[in-house]
Structure formats: C-alpha cells, structure tokens
C-alpha cells in the first residue's frame, strides 16, 4: 500500500554563516586528506544562509515554467535569465500535461514536457533550479495542474488525506523523480538545489498529515532540502508549515519575512529567509471590464526597493514571473469569485505575459533592464553577462479565411464519443478533459420558460433551437444572462458547453473550498425549461484536440466543406486559409525572427490552429486581442495553414493577420448586456 513508509525529518545544518554569494557555480572542494574533514554537503542551509558546497549562497531567482514555452526557445529564455543577473530558476511542473490520461506518462522524449532537458540546459547556462512539482501548483493553470481524470476517480478529493488522491499523487511524484532526480546538485553537481512541498497549502487547508505525507515521499525521492511556500500572514503560514521543511513566504518581503520569523516557531522549519514568489504585475482574466495588468512607475520603483531590501540583507528572492509564457491550447485555469452570495468564475486569458521582465514572446522589456541594474549592484562587477539583443518580431498582412465546415455537421468526425442518456452526463463521465460538449434534446411536448442548464453553467453554454442561437449563459458573470425559451413538440434543443478552465485557486478564507472541489464540466444535473425536466439526450464529446484539415489534398483526415453561407445565429464554424511568412525574416534562419502575434479582428470568440498547433482561445471582450504565434510553429519555405473555430460566426469570411506589436484592448460582450 502506498504512503506506508514514514521517514525521518529533514536535518538542518546549524553552522553559522552570513554573507552574499556572487556566483551560481559550485566552489571547488578538494579531496579530503587523512587530516581533513569530509567535504560539506552539496547544498544545505543554516539559520541565516543557504550553503552551496559550504559557502554562503544567496538565491537570486525567477519563475519560468518549461511547459508554457516552446522547447526550442528554452535556451534563449535561460540565457536571458542569467543575463538579468539571476542565478536560479524556479519551475512549476504540470501533472496534467505529464499524465493527461491516468497511467499514460508523456514526459521526456523532447517537446515541452521534457522538463529534465530544461533543467539540464539551465545548468549548462550557469543556473541552479528550484523544482516545484506540486502535485498542486496553482500558477493560473487548469485546475492548478491537476489532471482532469482525477475528477472521475470514485471517492477522490484533492489536497488532503484522501486515499485515492494520495496514491495517485505519490505515483506521479515518484515517476517525475525518476526523470529528474539525477539532476540534483548532489549528483555530480546537477542544477536542482531545492524541492517544494505542495504549494501555498496554507491558503487552502491545514491538514498537516497530508503535507507530512508529501514531505516523506519527496524526502525518499530526492536528496536536496525541501521547503514550503505560503503567504506571509499567520493563518497561511500556520496552515502550510511542515516539520523538518524550511518555511518560505511569497508576496511582500518586508511584512512576509517578519511574519515568518514571528509565526513559525518550530526550529526544524527555520532557516534563511526566502521570498519564493515576488510578484511582477499580475495575470489577466477575460472580461470587458478587466484591462491588461501593467505596472506604474511607482510600482516599478517599489520592485527595485524591495529587491534591494532583500539582497542588501543577504536574503533570497524569486521574481514571479521572470518569463510567463503562454497557455497554449486549453491550458488556462480560472479563479473562483463571489459577489452578492453568488459564485462565478474569472477565466485566465491565453497569454501568461504577466507583465514580466521577459515578455510572452521572450523579448526583454524596460522592467528587465531596471531589475538587471538593481541586481548588478549586489554582485561583483562584470559577473552579469551582457543582455542579448531582441530579435525584431515579424508580421503578415490580412489573410481572408474561407468557410470550412459547420462543427455540428462534422460530429461524426469530430466527436470522440456519443452517448444516448436520459439525463446529461458530465465531461469527465465522457472520459474527456478539455474542449466542448454538445447536448442535444428533441422536445417531446410543448414547454416554455427559463432554461436552467443543470446546477449552474459549467462554464459557458450557448443555446440553440433548431440550429439558431437563442442566447448564452456564461459563468464568468455573477448573474449570467437569462435565456427564455418557447419550445414546440419536435424542436431540437442544443446546449453547446465550453470548459473555460477549471478553477486553480480558491481559499479557505472565503469558505468555498468544499464547493470548489467539484470541478465537473459540461452539464451536471437535470436541464429544465420553465421547471420541467428535459429527459432524453444525445451527448457528443468534442475535445477538439486537433482541427480538421480543409486544404486541398486527399486522405481520410481531410474534411469536406459543409456550408456555403453563414446565417445569423449559426452554430460554430471552421474557417481556413493559408499565408506565407515574410521572406526577409525567413532568410534570417532564426525561428525567433518569424515570431508574431496573430489577430482575429472580426471574430467574437474561438480557437486558432496554425499548422496543426493550437495557439489557444481568443475573445473579443479582451484584454487579449492577439495570440502569440511562435516562429517554431511556422514554415519558412512554404504555405502555412491556419484554421479558426469561430463559436459565433457573423459572416462568410474571417480575417487574420500577424502583428509586430501585440494588441491589448477591451470591448463590450455581444452576449451580455448586464
């Protein structure tokens, strides 16, 4: 049985040291002679300092998650981290990407899931690594990095001493350790120096048996020290502390450091001060009233002052984010909010730019230069490499996309399964993780009144009667729009439900934790119209992991065009077309020279694929109005294929173009007048 082995607590070195370290490279350690003592541990800490091969080491870190970045660009991003003066990279690892299907591991073997390779490159570029494996990571990621299949395991509840969850989490952590444990600093000087236990657990709960169980598995799987990371106030620190594990804080270092030393009293949890997440600006959520997060001059000045406050005292810090990257595909998560006693979601946008020193496309920003100057004052002159130049972005002119197929006409090829049921089943019950579900009902007897799609909208429900859109019920509003229907016998009622991203952050302070453990998507519960239960459904699973191919050619994977014109209120439609990249940019031979931001100026809401790669979602409400298109996806020597699934088509044509400067803007939601 898993979780049966209990291991001793982490021993903390108590030898005195207090000084800054200027280099991320290990100090030389001579072989001991008969009169010499054994060499010091590769990485440890005492009450005031981290110690790298016995020498004080100040962590000057930044967060960068490999699974949000195209793998060919990893080295470029890591070189730029070192050139800002960082000596350490903090990285979340996303369980749902590594094990999207229970028991099916997709780590290694190249691509953005080859996290071990990312860490190897970090070491080659002179950077240490802090591994943040979860199993829960938050990170504005879909369900905090949990795989969706957890929601279909009988009796499973996350983030606690629940047997099915603990077993799954242990298997994941041990499997991950087999890939990366050889990269610890204890193994021939690898880059990994610290491993985090859970993530900001004190904000969620106080089940210390659960976090101790995670500690024991990680201690058995890794040799480097462990740490926890929690908000710098009493209740979060007390909830998240783990005996034998260094307690670190996030947020404001001034109040957070003081709180750590005041409220953490167990000596086995004390050591050097580490601000594991010092925030630069913040994330963006979809909505007409949510502009792009950006930092004012006063905020930037505070960043500099806080950085100086930490480093002047030889304490440690990690900038969150140094480089955010992108929620490609359906990778974004959501926040749970409450207003007027009603719960609703705030879904994160596709971009994870975060206002970071290195922007979404990997270009340095004015904040990068400002923080670089601040860090340079605390390391020896000349030790910070020269910052690489930014490669100019490319662009391409307007491309008119033609009609492809209507999604509902392609159900035979697009749906991964169909069930006939009396009552609706959820996305998870269909064995599906992301994307869309279509629920179809033929009305048996006339009925009228307000439509209720189960217990609540999960998350955005587009309602059609006889193939014509009648309204949208959207959980991103505290009071979603009301859809009233007048249905006659034989009418076809379609509910097209989009998973906007499972909630990744919720707090026990709000009292909604138990409700939010239910992350089911699609329709849960009975659908009613005017209080009458609608019985008898066809349910189509539409993960839309790949787009159909409409360009000329042969093969069973190529879909036929199914419509000639778009009528008002039409169901979702695929548009497609091709474009060529800028020949001058292509001639550079560097994929970064082809980087661009793809805009869909006349679209309402949808998903974009380029050469089969899912760039993510767009939505007219903003603040994001263009999608990062990495040059690694593009073909320099031939046409590039673009496919757009527009959920609310308004005409027979759709336009896309590539812009060299990204657009942030907000517009009114055409589906909501509240």
What DSSP assignment string belongs to 156-217? --SSSS-HHHHHHHHHHHHHHHHHHGGGBTTTTT-SEEEEE-SSSGGGT---HHHHHHHHHH
The CA distance from 381 to 419, in Å, is 67
Sign of the torsion formed by the C-alpha atoms of 340, 345, 349 and 352 = positive
Catalytic residue, from 97, 125, 198, 200: name it.
200
Query: Which CATH architecture group holds 43-376?
Result: Alpha-Beta Barrel (3.20)
Average pLDDT over residues 73-86: 98
**pLDDT single digits (tens) 586-595:** 999 999 999 9
Catalytic residue, from 99, 241, 277, 659: name it.
277
Q: What is the pLDDT of residue 343?
A: 83
Both tokens of 276, joined, read: 């594991």
* Helices within 313-424 (DSSP H only): 366-376, 411-414
Q: What is the pLDDT of residue 37?
A: 72
**pLDDT single digits (tens) 569-619:** 999 999 999 999 999 999 999 999 999 999 999 999 999 999 999 999 999
The CA distance from 50 to 272, in Å, is 6
Domain range list for the chain: 43-376, 396-402+549-659, 417-542
Both tokens of 437, joined, read: 């579900």
CATH number, span 417-542: 2.60.120.260
Q: What is the pLDDT of residue 561?
A: 62
Residue 164 has pLDDT above 60, yes or no: yes
Residue 429 has pLDDT above 60, yes or no: yes
Do the beta carbons of residue 42 and residue 194 sit within 8 Å? no
Band of the pLDDT at 110, cuts 50, 70, 90?
Answer: confident
Residue 26 has pLDDT above 90, yes or no: no
Mean pLDDT of the chain: 92
Band of the pLDDT at 560, cuts 50, 70, 90?
Answer: low
Residue 13 has pLDDT above 50, yes or no: no
Sign of the torsion formed by the C-alpha atoms of 258, 261, 262 and 263 = positive
CATH number, span 396-402+549-659: 2.60.120.260
Sequence-distant (≥ 6) Cβ neighbours of residue 527 within 8 angstroms = 424, 439, 441, 451, 452, 453, 454, 495, 533, 534, 537
| Strands 334-339 and 503-505, sheet pairing | parallel
Phi, psi dihedral angles at 588 (to 5 degrees): -65, -25
Residue 35 has pLDDT above 90, yes or no: no
**pLDDT single digits (tens) 469-507:** 999 999 999 999 999 999 999 999 999 999 999 999 876
Strands (E), 261-395: 274-279, 316-320, 334-339, 342-347
Band of the pLDDT at 4, cuts 50, 70, 90?
Answer: very low
The CA distance from 221 to 224, in Å, is 10
Average pLDDT over residues 410-417: 92
Residue 556 has pLDDT above 60, yes or no: no
Closest-CA residue to 357 (of 295, 416, 302): 295
**pLDDT single digits (tens) 346-360:** 999 999 999 999 999
What are residue 196's DSSP bridge partners?
Answer: 227
Closest-CA residue to 68 (of 38, 34, 91, 44): 91
For every residue of 596-625, DSSP letters joined together read: EEEE-TT-SEEEEEETTEEEEEEETTSSB-
The CA distance from 146 to 227, in Å, is 21
Q: What is the pLDDT of residue 23?
A: 33
Secondary structure letter of residue 381 according to DSSP? T
Identical fold for domains 43-376 and 417-542, yes or no, is: no
Q: What is the pLDDT of residue 337?
A: 87
Average pLDDT over residues 461-474: 98
* Residue 142 is among the residues annotated as catalytic for this protein: no
Query: H-helix or E-strand containing 308?
Result: helix 297-312
For every residue of 72-96, DSSP letters joined together read: GGHHHHHHHHHHTT--EEEEE--HH
The CA distance from 287 to 289, in Å, is 5
Residue 10 has pLDDT above 80, yes or no: no
Residue 15 has pLDDT above 60, yes or no: no
**pLDDT single digits (tens) 47-57:** 999 999 999 99
**Percent residues over pLDDT 70 in the chain:** 91
**Percent residues over pLDDT 90 in the chain:** 86
Closest-CA residue to 575 (of 544, 540, 553, 607): 607
Band of the pLDDT at 516, cuts 50, 70, 90?
Answer: low
Closest-CA residue to 41 (of 187, 216, 228, 248): 187
Residue 232 has pLDDT above 90, yes or no: yes
Is residue 218 classed exposed, middle or buried when 0-12, 13-18 and 19+ CB atoms within 10 A define those classes?
buried
pTM, to two decimals: 0.92
Strands (E), 508-612: 527-529, 532-533, 537-542, 573-579, 596-599, 605-610
Band of the pLDDT at 449, cuts 50, 70, 90?
Answer: very high
Closest-CA residue to 67 (of 152, 140, 149, 11): 140
Both tokens of 7, joined, read: 């291991």
Band of the pLDDT at 5, cuts 50, 70, 90?
Answer: very low
* Residue 557 is among the residues annotated as catalytic for this protein: no
Q: What is the pLDDT of residue 392?
A: 96
Peptide bond into 623 cis (omega under 30): yes
**pLDDT single digits (tens) 310-357:** 999 999 999 999 999 999 999 999 999 888 778 889 999 999 999 999
Measure CA of the first residue to CA of the last residue in the chain; give whole Å: 53
Phi, psi dihedral angles at 202 (to 5 degrees): -60, -25
């Amino acid at each position: 049985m898993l979780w049966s082995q209990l291991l001793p607590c982490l021993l903390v070195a108590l030898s005195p040291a207090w000084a800054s370290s200027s280099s991320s490279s290990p100090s030389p350690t001579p072989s001991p002679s008969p009169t010499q003592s054994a060499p010091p541990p590769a990485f440890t800490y005492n009450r005031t300092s981290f110690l790298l091969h016995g020498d004080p080491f100040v962590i000057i870190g930044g967060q960068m998650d490999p699974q949000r970045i195209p793998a060919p660009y990893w080295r470029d991003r890591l070189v730029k981290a070192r050139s800002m003066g960082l000596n350490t990279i903090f990285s979340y690892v996303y369980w749902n990407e590594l094990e999207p299907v229970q028991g099916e591991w997709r780590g290694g073997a190249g691509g953005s899931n080859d996290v071990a390779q990312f860490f190897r490159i970090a070491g080659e570029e002179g950077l240490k690594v802090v591994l943040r494996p979860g199993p829960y990571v938050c990170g504005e990621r879909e369900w905090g990095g949990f795989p969706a299949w957890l929601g279909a395991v009988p009796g499973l509840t996350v983030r606690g001493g629940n047997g099915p969850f603990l077993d799954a989490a242990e298997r994941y952590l041990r499997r991950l350790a087999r890939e990366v444990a050889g990269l610890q600093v204890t193994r021939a000087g690898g880059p990994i120096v610290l491993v985090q236990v859970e993530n900001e657990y004190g904000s969620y709960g106080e089940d210390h048996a659960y976090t101790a169980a995670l500690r024991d598995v990680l201690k058995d799987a890794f040799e480097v020290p462990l740490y926890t990371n929690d908000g710098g106030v009493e209740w979060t620190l007390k909830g998240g502390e783990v005996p034998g594990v260094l307690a670190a804080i996030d947020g404001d270092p001034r109040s957070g450091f003081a709180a750590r030393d005041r409220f953490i009293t167990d000596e086995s949890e004390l050591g050097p001060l580490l601000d594991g997440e010092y925030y630069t600006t913040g994330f963006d959520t979809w909505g007409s009233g949510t502009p792009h997060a950006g930092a004012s001059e006063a905020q930037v000045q505070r960043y500099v002052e806080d950085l100086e406050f930490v480093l002047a005292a030889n304490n440690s810090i990690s900038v969150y984010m140094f480089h955010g990257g992108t929620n490609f595909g359906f990778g974004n998560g959501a926040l749970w909010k409450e207003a007027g006693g009603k719960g609703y979601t705030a879904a994160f946008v596709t971009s994870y730019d975060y206002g970071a020193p290195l922007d979404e496309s990997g270009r340095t920003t004015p904040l990068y230069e400002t923080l670089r100057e601040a860090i340079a004052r605390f390391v020896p002159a000349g030790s910070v490499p020269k910052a690489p130049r930014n490669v100019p972005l490319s662009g391409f002119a307007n491309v008119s996309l033609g009609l492809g197929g209507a999604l509902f006409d392609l159900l035979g090829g697009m749906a991964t399964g169909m069930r006939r049921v009396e009552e609706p089943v959820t996305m998870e019950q269909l064995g599906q993780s992301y994307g869309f579900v279509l629920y179809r009902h033929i009305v048996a007897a006339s009925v009228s009144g307000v439509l209720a799609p189960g217990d609540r909208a999960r998350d955005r429900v587009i309602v059609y009667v006889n193939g014509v859109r009648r309204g949208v019920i959207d959980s991103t509003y505290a009071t979603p729009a009301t859809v009233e229907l007048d249905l006659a016998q034989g009418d076809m009622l379609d509910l097209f439900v989009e998973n906007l991203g499972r909630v990744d952050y919720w707090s026990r302070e709000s009292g909604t934790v138990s409700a939010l453990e239910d992350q089911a998507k699609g329709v849960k519960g009975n659908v009613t119209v005017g209080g009458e239960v609608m019985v008898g459904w066809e349910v189509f699973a539409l993960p839309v992991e790949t787009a159909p191919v409409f360009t000329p050619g042969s093969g069973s994977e190529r879909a036929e065009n199914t419509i000639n014109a778009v009528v008002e209120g039409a169901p979702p439609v695929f548009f497609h077309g091709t474009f060529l990249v800028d020949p001058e940019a292509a001639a550079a031979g560097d994929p970064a020279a082809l980087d661009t931001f793809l805009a869909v100026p006349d679209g309402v809401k949808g998903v974009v694929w380029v050469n089969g790669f899912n760039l993510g979602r767009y939505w007219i409400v903003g603040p994001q109005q263009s999608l990062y298109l990495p040059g690694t996806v593009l073909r320099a020597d031939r046409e590039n294929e673009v496919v757009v699934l527009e959920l609310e088509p308004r005409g027979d044509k759709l336009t896309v173009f590539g812009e060299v400067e990204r657009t942030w803007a907000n517009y009114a939601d055409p589906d909501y007048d509240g």
